[in-house]
Structure 1
Amino acid sequence: MTPSHRVAAVISAYNPPADLIAKVERLANQVDSIIVVDDGSPSDVSGVLQGLEEVGAVVLKQGVNSGIAAALNAGIRHGADSSPDFFLTLDQDSELDPDYVARALQAYADASAQGVAVGMVCAESHNKQPVMLQKPGVSFPEAFDPMQSGTLIPAATFDAAGLLEEDLFIDCVDSEFTARIRELGLKAIIAPGCNISHAVGESRPMLVGKWHVNIGGQKRFVHSHAPFRVYYITRNGLVMYRRYLPKQPVWVLRRIGLEVVFYGVRVVYGPHRFRQIAAIAFGIRDAFTGRMGRIGAKENALVSPRRKKAAA
Structure 2
Amino acid sequence: MTHSHRVAAVISAFNPPSDLVEKVQRLAAQVERVIVVDDGSPAADPAVYEALEAAGAVVLKQGENSGIAAALNAGIRYAAESSPDFYLTLDQDSELDPGYVALALDAFDKATAQGVPVGMVCAECHNQLPVMVQKAGVEHPEAFDPMQSGTLIPAAVFDTAGLLEEDLFIDCVDSEFTARIRDLGLKAIVAPGCNITHAVGEARPMRLGTWHVTVGGQKRFVHSHAPFRVYYITRNGLVMYKRYLTKQPVWVLRRIGLEVVFYGVRVVYGPHRARQVAAIVLGIRDALTGRMGRISARDAKLVTPRKK
Q: TM-score, normalised by structure 2?
A: 0.99
Partner secondary structure for residue 123 of structure 1 = strand
Residue aligning to 1:157: 157
In structure 2, the residue matched to 1:239 is: 239
Instruction: Tell me by how many angstroms 1:178 deviates.
Output: 0.1
User: How much does 1:45 deviate?
Assistant: 2.0
Partner of 2:222: 222
Unaligned runs of 5+ in 2: none
Following superposition, the deviation at residue 44 of structure 1 comes to 3.3
Q: Note the C-alpha offset of 1:3.
A: 5.1
**Equivalent residue for 2:93?**
93
**What letter is aligned with 1:204?**
R
1:7 matched residue in structure 2: 7
Q: Distance in 2 between matches of 1:220 and 1:15?
A: 31
Query: Normalising by the residue count of structure 1, what TM-score does the alignment of the two structures yield?
Result: 0.98
Paired with 1:120 and 1:82, the residues of 2 have a C-alpha distance of: 20
The one-letter code sitting in structure 1 at the alignment partner of 2:262 is F
1:132 maps to a residue whose letter is M
| Structure-2 separation of matches of 1:128 and 1:4 | 28
Q: Distance in 1 between matches of 2:192 and 2:268?
A: 36
Deviations 1:69-124 (A, max 9, x none): 00000000000000000000000000000010000000000000000000000000
State the 1:2 CA deviation. Answer: 4.6
* CA distance in structure 2 between the aligned counterparts of 1:44 and 1:100, rounded to whole angstroms: 29
Q: Is the 8 A contact 2:3 2:102 kept in 1?
A: no
Rounded to whole Å, the distance in 2 between the matches of 1:130 and 1:250 is: 21
1:78-227 matched pairs, under 5 angstroms: 78-227=78-227
Question: Is 2:64 the counterpart of 1:64?
Answer: yes
One-letter amino acid matched to 1:57: A
How many residues align structurally?
308
Please tell me the residue identity of whatever aligns with 1:67: G
Q: Whole-Å Cα distance in 1 between the matches of residues 76 and 182 of structure 2? A: 21
Shift in Å, 1:215 = 0.6
Structure 2 contact 10–75 (Cα < 8 Å) conserved: yes
Runs of 4+, deviation exceeding 3 Å: none
Task: State the Cα RMSD in Å.
Answer: 0.8
Find the residue that maps to 2:60 and give its secondary structure: strand
User: Aligned with 1:137: secondary structure?
Assistant: coil
In the alignment, the residues of structure 2 paired with residue 181 and residue 30 of structure 1 have an alpha-carbon distance, to the nearest angstrom, of: 26
Post-superposition CA distance 1:111-163 (Å, at most 9, x none): 00000000000000000000000011111000000000000000011011000
- 1:177 & 1:44 partners in 2: Cα distance? 29
Whole-Å Cα distance in 1 between the matches of residues 229 and 151 of structure 2?
22
- SS of the equivalent of 2:196 reads strand
Q: Structure 2: which amino acid aligns with 1:301?
A: K
Tell me if structure 1 keeps the 8 A contact 2:231–2:282: yes
CA deviations 1:209-252 (Å, max 9, x no partner) are 11100011100000000000000000000000000001000000
SS, match of residue 82 in structure 1: coil
Summarize deviations over 1:44-64 as a string: whole Å, max 9, x none: 321111100001000000000
Instruction: Report SS of the residue matched to 2:81.
Output: helix
Q: Deviations over 1:251-287 (max 9, x none)?
A: 0000000000000000000000000000000000000
Partner of 1:252 in structure 2? Answer: 252
- Distance in 2 (CA, whole Å) between partners of 1:8 and 1:2 is 17
CA distance in 1, matches of 2:217, 2:307: 37
Q: CA deviation at 1:4?
A: 1.8
In structure 1, the partner of 2:277 is: 277
Tell me which residue corresponds to 1:266: 266
Structure 1 CA distance for aligned equivalents of residues 65 and 181 of structure 2: 27
Unaligned runs of 5+ in 1: none
Residue pairs, 1:47-62, within 5 angstroms: 47-62=47-62
- Map of 1:28 onto structure 2: 28
Matched-pair identity in %? 79
